Each structure stands twice: as structure tokens, then as C-alpha cells.
Amino acid sequence: MLTSLKGKSVIVTGGSKGIGRGIARVFAATGARVTLASRGEEALRAACAELEAAGGDVRYEICDVSDWDSVRAMVDSTAAAQGGLDVLCANAGAFPQTKIVDMDPSEWDQVMATNLRSAFLSVKAAIPHFERAGKGRVVLTSSITGPLTGYPGWSHYGASKAGQLGFLRTAAMELARYNTTINAVMPGNIYTEGLQDLGQEYLDGMAAAIPLGRLGAVEDIGNAALFFASDEAGYITGQQIVVDGGQTLPESLEAIDEI
Ligand code: NAP
């Protein structure tokens, strides 16, 4: 049992949907005070309603994570509302799928801004609050795509996710003086609302390629983030953990059939 995060002040960017909503659910269930930050207010309201119905202490901020003024305002206003900031989960991300030959350079820039610039901006905005508190925790949601694997159409996405890990290592050194750790979770294929449209047959095919035989649940990522945010993980920084049910392990298609 990890030390409770009850009463801790937590931000989850991209908390209105998918993995972010799962991370928020896991933290809220421990009694943390959680702010969900993303652009669409309707989805934010729906997520807050769900978490509040389960007894969570949650609120939301409308924020574009690629925009400095928006991120700084979101972090400062959250710290004011929640009595400081203990944990930043920089999770918001976008993954349009376009092959290099067809990709407009503006799409590359947009994905980099949403996935990579955002990590820098949110950490930068959080530093004064961690400095004031004398401690802090950052958890990035990276991916297996980019750092470990590739997929046609996701060159920009993969580069942004690998870039997050490059950022992480130097950020860990710079944040150490604020007694703050920063680590990354690298999800494999996680079941989110967005995948529902793909159909059961497609989802079964995805699950069959994963040694543990199922897609990940959003809470699987939330639990890994919770560990990095815990007191028990206080001496871990600049590190990454793959949460993929063994998806990246098979060295050939035949290897899966041997299971
Ligand atoms: P999702 O269901 O599409 O949710 C994305 C979240 O990010 C939403 O809350 C969205 O809200 C928010 N967001 C997107 N652009 C934003 C912006 N510019 N400013 C603020 N918020 C923004 O995606 P997901 O699958 O949960 O993915 C979450 C993270 O996990 C991403 O970083 C993704 O790369 C990573 N990941 C996912 C998987 C997977 O299998 N699902 C695997 C590996 C890594 P708005 O659009 O309303 O702003």
C-alpha cells in the first residue's frame, strides 16, 4: 500500500478523456484534489460529473497546453484554488495519422506543440509552485510509439513522444534543486473511448498481439502515474516505465503464437 495522496493538489492535462480521465480517476479515488485541464468544456464537465459522483474532489480548467499564457494561467489558478501544487501529470496529447509524403508541415508543428512543447510549458509553469512547496512530482505520458516502436503515419507523433524522454532527462537534473522528480509512463495500446468506433473484431486483433491478451485499461496508466507521485518513489527521477502488457516483447509474429 502506497502512502496516501489524500489532500494533495494534482493537475492532469488532457484529463477530460481517455488516459487522462483514468489518471484523474485513480488520483481522485485516493482523496487527492484534482484539476482536469483541456480545451473542450463539455467533456471537462462530463468528466468532473463522473468523478464527483464517485466522491472525488475535482474541478476543471479550460486550457490549450500548447499555449504559454493558457498553461501559466491554468497552473497558477489551480494552485490558488487547491492550496499549491504537488503533482503535475502532463498527459494531453494528439495523434493524427498521416504519412510523411502527405503531411503538411503545419501538422508536424501542431503535433510537436501539443505533445512536446506542452511538456516544457507545463513543467516551466509548475516550477515556482514546486519551489515554494519545497517539493513536487511530474509524470509525463509518453508512449511506446517513438521511443521503442514505429507505425506508419506517426512519424511526428513518435518524434514528439521520444522527444519527451529527451526533455525528461535534463529536466530531472534541473528539477532536482526543487526536490522535484519527473518520470514518464510509456503506454502501449490502451482502451479509450476513442477506440470504441474501431469495432470489436479490430480490438480483438489488437489484443491478440499483446502477450497479456488484452488492451490496457486507462487505470493501468493511472496506477503507474500514482506510483511515481507517491512518497515511495521519491528517489526515482528521470526514468520511464513501459506499461504495455508485454506488447513490445515478441521478436516475431510467431513468438506470439508460441504463448
Ligand atoms: P484522447 O482520449 O484523445 O484524450 C486526449 C486528451 O488531451 C483530451 O482530454 C483532449 O481534450 C486533450 N487535449 C488534446 N489536445 C490538447 C490541447 N492542445 N490542449 C489541452 N488539452 C488537449 O487521448 P488518449 O488516448 O487518452 O491519450 C492521452 C495521452 O496518452 C496522449 O499523450 C497520448 O499520446 C498518450 N498515449 C495514448 C495511448 C493509447 O493507446 N490511448 C498509447 C500511448 C500513449 P481536448 O481535445 O478537449 O482539448
Ligand 1 center–CA 172 separation, angstroms: 23
Residue 94 CB–ligand 1 contact under 6 Å:
yes
Catalytic residues: 157
- Residue 239: the pLDDT is 98
- Residue 225: the pLDDT is 98
Q: What CA–CA distance (Å, rounded) separates 131 from 124?
A: 11
Per-domain boundaries in the chain:
9-257
- Could you tell which of 13, 17, 97 is best to mutate to test the pocket of ligand 1, judged by most ligand atoms within 8 Å of the CB? 17
How would you classify the pairing of strands 33-38 and 57-62? Answer: parallel
- CA-proximal residue: ligand 1, atom 12 (nearest): 14
Cα→Cα distances 234→77, 91, 109, 223, 250, Å:
26, 20, 35, 16, 32
Residue 56 CB–ligand 1 contact under 6 Å:
no
Q: Which residue has the cell 502532463?
A: 90
Q: Which residue has the cell 479550460?
A: 62
Q: What is the number of the ligand 1 atom nearest to the C-alpha of 215?
A: 40
Strand ranges in the chain using DSSP code E only, listed in sequence order: 9-13, 33-38, 57-62, 87-90, 136-141, 180-187, 240-243
- Residue 4: the pLDDT is 86
* Homologous superfamily of 9-257: NAD(P)-binding Rossmann-like Domain (3.40.50.720)
Q: What is the number of the ligand 1 atom nearest to the C-alpha of 63?
A: 20
C-alpha dihedral, 215 to 108 to 237 to 125, nearest 10°: -120
What are the 10-residue block averages of pLDDT along the chain, 259 residues in total? Answer: 91 98 98 98 98 98 98 98 98 97 98 98 98 98 98 98 98 98 98 88 92 97 98 98 97 89
Residue 160 CB–ligand 1 contact under 6 Å:
no
Note the pTM of the prediction, 2 decimals.
Answer: 0.98
Ligand 1 center–CA 101 separation, angstroms: 25
CB contact at 8 A, 59 and 81: yes
**Closest to 215 measured CA to CA, from 184, 192, 233:** 192
Number of H helices, E strands in the chain: 9, 7
Residue 236, burial from CB neighbour count under 10 angstroms (0-12, 13-18, 19+): middle
